[in-house]
Structure 1
Amino acid sequence: MTVDFVIEITTKTLELTLMIAAPMLIFGLVVGLIVSIFQAVTQIQEMTLTFIPKILAVVVALIIFFPWIIDKLISFTVNIIHNIPVYIGKF
């Protein structure tokens, strides 16, 4: 197993992880920003006010993007499994 091979697989895995996590993180960020603006406008300084909307936003994003996430994970896994003979040949 060469160093280049390990770096390639690690890079692809990290890219997939970031791509899968991005929708939930973006939804949470946008909702957090909206709640922060609401708190600044109304001068409500309750720290726990942001948790429930963020959690709901992340759950909604997960429900919306779940088929896409599963498709990406399955295609990545199938690609890894199908290329096992190629990977063995690289030793």
Structure 2
Amino acid sequence: MSADHALQMMAQLFWNCFLIALPVLAVTLAVGVLISIFQVVTQLQESSLSYVPKLAAAGITLLLCGSWMLNRLVSFATTLFSSIPNLK
């Protein structure tokens, strides 16, 4: 296996990791910003107010996007395993 091929496989790995993690991270970031704005406006500094909505949003996002995430991961793993015989 050449260094170029190994770097290409690593680039694909990082890109897939980014795409798989993006929905959950983006939704929890957006919910966190909205909750922070709400806390600043109302001056309500309850610690559970920031965790519970983010946890619920992450769970809902996993329910909605989980099949796509798993499909993407399985597709990448299948491609990776099928390329093993071509490695030299």
**Would you call these one fold, judging by a TM-score over 0.5?**
yes
Greater shift, 45-54 or 2-11, is seen at 45-54
Q: TM-score, normalised by structure 2?
A: 0.91
Question: C-alpha separation between the residues in 1 aligned to 2:69 and 2:45?
Answer: 36
Hey, what does 2:5 align to over in structure 1?
Answer: 5
Structure 1 equivalent of residue 77 of structure 2: 77
Match of 2:37 in 1: 37
Q: Per-residue deviation at 1:27?
A: 0.7
Residues matched between the structures, number: 88
Deviates more, 1:41-50 or 1:22-31: 41-50
* Equivalent position of 1:18 in the other structure: 18
Distance 1:5 1:73 in 2: 20
Percent identity of paired positions between Structure 1 and Structure 2: 33
Query: Which segments of 5 or more consecutive residues in structure 2 lack a partner in the other structure?
Result: none
Residue 49 of structure 1, CA deviation:
2.0
User: Is 1:49 matched up with 2:49?
Assistant: yes
The one-letter code sitting in structure 2 at the alignment partner of 1:54 is K
One-letter amino acid matched to 2:2: T
RMSD value, Cα: 1.2
Counterparts of 1:37 and 1:7 in 2: how far apart (Å)?
Answer: 42
User: Structure 1, unaligned stretches of length 5 or more?
Assistant: none
1:24-66 deviations in whole A, cap 9, x for unaligned? 0011011101111111111112334201111111111111101
SS of aligned partner of 2:9: helix
